[in-house]
Structure 1
Amino acid sequence: MASNSGAGHKPTRGILKKSGSDKKIESNARNPRKLPQWMQNGAIKKTLPTFSIPSSCSIVYSFNANDCAVVCNEFLKSLRGPCHIGFDIEWPVTYEHGKQGRTAVIQFCHIPDEVCFVFHVSCMNSIPKPLREVIERVDVLKVGVNVEGDIQKLCRDFDLIFPQSGFVDLGSFANERLMSNERWSLAGLVKFLLNCDLPKVDSIRKGSWHLYPLTEQQLHYAALDAIASVKIYNQILCRSQLQFTS
């Protein structure tokens, strides 16, 4: 179903599948906040490796509603019980006070399948029903920084039903499980938990996400956030379990 496309060629269908291996991208001094002991002991190096897409992970870019529905149906049918996915969205910056652009991209990553889905929903008339199901199902746990806010925005933009559960904010989860008290960004969590730098290029972050097609840099950026989110969730689980057993 997914078709590989060479440079400059539009896929014959609404999906473009790419392998992650072929992508490259360019305090208060008197009352300092105290980090948990494990953070203080593990000094962060000044120069860290850049967080990248694992070579085994594929990106599936879908810009057609019918193909998006097929992809999400296949994903849902493959599940054998509750699961968690790294989840994020992108939208174009409007530079108008009090206004946000409509959500243009929805991305999520499922580590067991070694795949990251990037859905260009601004190219679709509406969100296909199977993708709505992924968003609304509580047994498909969406994990990310400010993920509740992202889901609320999706509900406003596309008239979805807001799920009262089925999502975990990584910042709150890290503070709860690792006994810290920080205002975490995704880049901060990647630095402290994965010892990597997460690229955050402003020109990409504030780019024209609603325009087809997404650039290689945009695809890479979107996929990195979703992959980082699920890896952070797994790392928090691992570290908190070690704390309870030690």
Structure 2
Amino acid sequence: MKLMKYCISPSKLAWLRKEFGKDANGLIAAMDAAGTAYLDKLNAVTEPQVEDMAAADVESICKPKTQQPAQRQLAYLWLQQRVALATRTDEAELAALAAFDLHPLHIEVVQPSELYSVLARLQTERVLGFDTETRASFERGVQHPLSLIQIATADACYLFQHAILGEQFAQVKTLLEDENILKVGVGLRGDTRALKRQWDIHVASTLDLNWALAQLGADKEMGTRQLVVALLGARIDKPKKVTLSNWQQVPLSDAQIHYAAADALAALKCFNALITQLTPFYHASSATKAAPLIPLSLIVPLAQYFEDAE
């Protein structure tokens, strides 16, 4: 459990690294180990680790002879989970992780002839990964229109490019305004504003994963790279050369296609991982009849997904 990284501000961590140089990582690791050992002893909970626990495992600690130890142990496991989700990973640790894998995802740049069949297929989903891309502007006062919408399911990602679809691009309106389909993504405010301003599309039923992690204690927006580490234990690469590329060009390069698809799929996979990791605590709080561990701000929009994941 990375207590030091969770509890100490980034500026203080930077100061520690500056003061202790090559010894800083060892010092931080030693402090983390000491803090974890103390909490383990205090709460008499060492195994299993929370990331390896199913709902039944968490609930099993809620039935000891007295209620107070159960609640304390559950609170400690919840602390472990929050720290794991809300702690940022530094670049050195990131580089050592396995790359986020798109395979065997089907990726399709939607053509006009396929548009309606693709939209009909997506209309049957309950949760979709969602993202957009816009051509970067390097001139003051010049803003390019939104170029691309990416929508992912568990096994496919569809890229809707304005340069290909033209006025048909607006046909995604019905799907994105459907309140019964949750659209999950990262930093959605800019995406939804652009769709509203340019296409009169009012995206409904959204969950911004940055916001979700903030409810669990993340001190600032995590961003896609940090979310993928925290929730999937993988590294997603976002080279600036692709980020700032021309998203209006036809055809898109392979690098652009894979970059765009990865963002939407990562959002969906992160959402599913978040539900999996929080569901045991949702049910365990109910079992002890204690105050919910998960913030109500998350329980309200996500309760139905916790129930389905049981």
On whether the aligned pair clears a TM of 0.5, the verdict is: yes
Where 1:230 maps in the other structure, the secondary structure is helix
Paired position in structure 2 for 1:168:
207
Match of 2:115 among 68, 72, 96: 68
Higher share in strand? 1
- Amino acid paired to 1:48: L
Paired position in structure 1 for 2:259:
221
Paired position in structure 1 for 2:173:
132
C-alpha distance in 2, partners of 1:242/1:194?
18
C-alpha distance in 2, partners of 1:30/1:220?
34
> Do the aligned partners of 2:131 and 2:188 also contact (CA within 8 Å) in 1?
yes
C-alpha distance in 2, partners of 1:180/1:204?
28
Identity of aligned residues (%): 23
C-alpha distance in 1, partners of 2:81/2:121?
41
> Do the aligned partners of 2:176 and 2:201 also contact (CA within 8 Å) in 1?
no
- Residues 74 and 190 of structure 1, relative CA distance in 2, 3 Å threshold: closer
1:10-89 matched pairs, under 5 angstroms: 27-29=10-12, 37-38=80-81, 40=83, 46=93, 47-55=96-104, 57-62=105-110, 64-76=111-123, 79=124, 83-89=126-132
Where 1:28 maps in the other structure, the secondary structure is helix
C-alpha distance in 2, partners of 1:67/1:240?
38
C-alpha distance in 2, partners of 1:49/1:72?
33
| Distance apart, 1:199 and its partner CA | 0.7
**In the TM superposition, what whole-angstrom CA distance separates every residue of 1:55-90 from its partner, at most 9, and x where no partner exists?**
2x211111x3342233212332xx1xx611110011
> Do the aligned partners of 2:119 and 2:175 also contact (CA within 8 Å) in 1?
yes
Runs of 4+ in 1 over 4 A off after TM superposition: 39-45
The runs of 5 or more residues in structure 2 that have no matched partner are 1-9, 16-78, 285-310
C-alpha distance in 2, partners of 1:41/1:206?
31
Tell me how large the CA RMSD over aligned residues is. Answer: 2.5
Higher relative contact order (CA 8 A, sep 6+): 1
Larger Rg: 2
> Do the aligned partners of 1:85 and 1:143 also contact (CA within 8 Å) in 2?
yes
| Distance apart, 1:100 and its partner CA | 2.6
- Residues 128 and 31 of structure 1, relative CA distance in 2, 3 Å threshold: closer
The runs of 5 or more residues in structure 1 that have no matched partner are 1-26
Q: Does 1:120 align with 2:161?
A: yes
> Do the aligned partners of 1:69 and 1:129 also contact (CA within 8 Å) in 2?
no
| Distance apart, 1:130 and its partner CA | 4.0
> Do the aligned partners of 1:109 and 1:116 also contact (CA within 8 Å) in 2?
yes
C-alpha distance in 2, partners of 1:130/1:41?
40
- Amino acid paired to 1:162: H
> Do the aligned partners of 2:161 and 2:169 also contact (CA within 8 Å) in 1?
no
TM-score, with length taken from structure 1: 0.75
C-alpha distance in 1, partners of 2:201/2:157?
24
